[in-house]
Amino acid sequence: DFQMTQSPSSLSGFVGDRVTMTCQASQDINKYLNWYQQKPGKAPKLLIYGASTLETGAPSRFSGSGSGTQFTLTISGLQPEDIATYYCQQYDHLPPVFGPGTKVDIQ
């Protein structure tokens, strides 16, 4: 079965920190990967698509990179409003499954 994994499962940083989380696919997915941000009690929001393209309106401190099986989401300058769970989703294979998420907190 095709699987997505994310690490770490949770992380904590200070305001202004650069934080990085990773997403790994069990098979090559080229650059067909999205990142979503879900704040507590809210619906997810698209942050990045195509592994590295920032969604219109998303803050520029978010960036994505990677291809193949390894991907990274970076927040350059963590802000209090970034407290959320971040999910990756591949769309190279059907079904377009999500990763288990990385929960981000402020120290």
Contact residues for other proteins, defined by CB under 8 A: 32, 34, 36, 38, 42-46, 49-50, 53, 55, 87, 89, 91-92, 94-101
Comparing CB distances to other proteins, the nearer of 13 and 96 is 96
Comparing CB distances to other proteins, the nearer of 47 and 78 is 47
At its nearest, how many Å lie between other proteins and the CB of residue 49?
4
Comparing CB distances to other proteins, the nearer of 22 and 91 is 91
At its nearest, how many Å lie between other proteins and the CB of residue 10?
13
The answer to whether 2 and 93 have CB atoms below 8 angstroms apart is yes
Q: Phi and psi for 81 in degrees, rounded to 5?
A: -75, 0
Local structure of residue 92 (DSSP, 8 states):
S
Length of the chain: 107
At its nearest, how many Å lie between other proteins and the CB of residue 7?
14
Comparing CB distances to other proteins, the nearer of 15 and 27 is 27
Q: Classify residue 35 as exposed, middle or buried by CB count within 10 Å of its CB (0-12, 13-18, 19+).
A: buried
The answer to whether 105 and 58 have CB atoms below 8 angstroms apart is no
